[in-house]
Amino acid sequence: MTSDTIDKVREAELAADKAEKDAQVQADQIVAGAENEAATLRADLVKKSREAAESAGKKAQEKTDVLLEEARKEAEQSIEELRSSVAAGREKAVKAIIEDLTKN
């Protein structure tokens, strides 16, 4: 009976060792899977963040282009108004000089 008990204790120890090793392997696999999933999620988040930043940059550039075009048109209109004003002032000045010369 002693030999039978010792054999059963050894079998139990071997089974416990195997169960411990199996549990460690399973834990390592779970950790590796979680690390892989975390890396994939991180890569997806980085990709989405870059895409969002690029989209925002494009929208900002488009808005800037529109604003610059509007400013250019306004500046051209102001320049044209100034040219017309200068031309009108020049014409008035010439008439005034001619009138002044013809009066004397």
- Give the distance, in angstroms, between the CA of residue 101 and the centroid of all CA atoms in the same chain: 71
pLDDT digits (tens, 9 = 90+) for 24-64: 999 999 999 999 999 999 999 999 999 999 999 999 999 99
Q: Which amino acid is at 79?
A: I
Q: Using CB atoms within 10 Å of the CB of residue 34, give its burial: 0 to 12 exposed, 13 to 18 middle, 19+ buried.
A: exposed
Q: Closest Cα partner for 12 from 20, 82, 89?
A: 20
Mean pLDDT of the chain: 93
pLDDT-based confidence at 104, cuts 50/70/90? Answer: low
Question: Given a cut of 90, is residue 19 above it in pLDDT?
Answer: yes
CA geometry: angle 55, 60, 65, nearest 5 deg? 125
CA 49 – CA 44 distance, rounded (Å):
8
